[in-house]
Amino acid sequence: MSMEQELREKAKELLSSGKVKVVIGYGEGSIPIKSTPIFVKTPEQADCLVLNPTCTNNLTVYLPQAVKSGPVAVVAKPCEVKNIVELVKENQIKREDVTVIAVSTPGILNDAALAEFDLLDVKKISWKADGVAVTTSQGDTVIPRDAAFQKKCLSCTAAQPAIADIKIGDWAERAPLQDKFADVEEYEKLSAEEKRAFWAGQFSKCIRCYACRQACPGCYCNECFVDKNGQIWASKDTGAESNWFFHMTRMMHTAGRCTGCGECERACPMGIPLSLMGKKMSLLVKELFGTQPGESMEDAPVFGCYQTNDPDPCPE
Residues engaged in binding other proteins (CB under 8 A): 90-92, 220-225, 228, 230-233, 253, 300-301, 303-306
Which residue's CB is nearer to other proteins, number 190 or number 252? 252
Which residue's CB is nearer to other proteins, number 163 or number 251? 251
Residue among 222, 249, 218, 219 at smallest CA distance from 233: 249
Which residue's CB is nearer to other proteins, number 91 or number 137? 91
Amino acid at 64: P
Contact partner, 145, from other proteins, ligand SF4, none, Cβ < 5-8 Å per class: none
Which residue's CB is nearer to other proteins, number 271 or number 304? 304
Where is 26: in which H helix or E strand? strand 22-28
Contact partner, 106, from ligand SF4, other proteins, none, Cβ < 5-8 Å per class: none
Smallest separation (angstroms) from ligand SF4 to the CB of 127:
23
Smallest separation (angstroms) from ligand SF4 to the CB of 21:
26
Which residue's CB is nearer to other proteins, number 112 or number 221? 221
Contact partner, 210, from other proteins, ligand SF4, none, Cβ < 5-8 Å per class: ligand SF4
Check if the beta carbon of residue 279 is closer than 8 Å to that of residue 180.
Answer: yes
Contact partner, 300, from other proteins, ligand SF4, none, Cβ < 5-8 Å per class: other proteins
Q: What is the DSSP string of 166-227?
A: EEEE--S----SS-TTHHHHHHHTS-HHHHHHHHHHHHHH-----HHHHH-TT---SS-GGG
* Bridge-based pairing state of the strands 131-136 and 35-40: unpaired
CA neighbours within 13 Å on the CB side: how many for 150?
A: 22
Smallest separation (angstroms) from ligand SF4 to the CB of 252:
8
Contact partner, 212, from other proteins, ligand SF4, none, Cβ < 5-8 Å per class: ligand SF4
Spatial separation of the C-alpha atoms in residues 39 and 236, rounded to whole Å: 34
* Bridge-based pairing state of the strands 72-76 and 35-40: unpaired
